[in-house]
Amino acid sequence: MLKLVPDPPFSNDPSHHLEDTLTQAAEYVLCALSVGHHAVASLPRSPATIMTLAVMHEMEAVRMLLVSAIAQVQLRDGQPVHTLH
């Protein structure tokens, strides 16, 4: 398959690597939350729904911690802060 989007320029700045890693982790958490929402919607009366909701609650807490960490990295580096809302 032909790659349409080139790779971004390489940076030796470790804070960019940290920010990229935190952003990718936040995206994985959003995917996990989406799967949880679909699971609850498809089987609302399942006994596992309560556990799924508990996991979703914990994943939302992780997402907020990641967003906070990304903001701290951006503030430390003097970059503009981009929020999700």
Cβ neighbours of residue 36 under 8 Å, at least 6 residues apart? Answer: 52, 53, 55, 56, 59
Q: What pLDDT is stored for residue 5 in this prediction?
A: 73
What are the C-alpha distances in Å from 36 to residues 32, 46, 64, 72? 6, 13, 17, 28
Q: What angle do CA 69, 72, 75 make, to 5 degrees?
A: 155
Tens digits of per-residue pLDDT, 47-67?
899 999 999 999 999 999 999
pLDDT at 81 over 70: no
Q: How confident is the prediction for the chain on average, in pLDDT?
A: 86
- Left if phi > 0, otherwise alpha if psi is -120 to 50, otherwise beta: which for 78? left
pLDDT at 12 over 80: no
pTM recorded for the entire structure: 0.70
Greater model confidence, 33 or 2:
33
Question: Domain boundaries in the chain?
Answer: 15-77
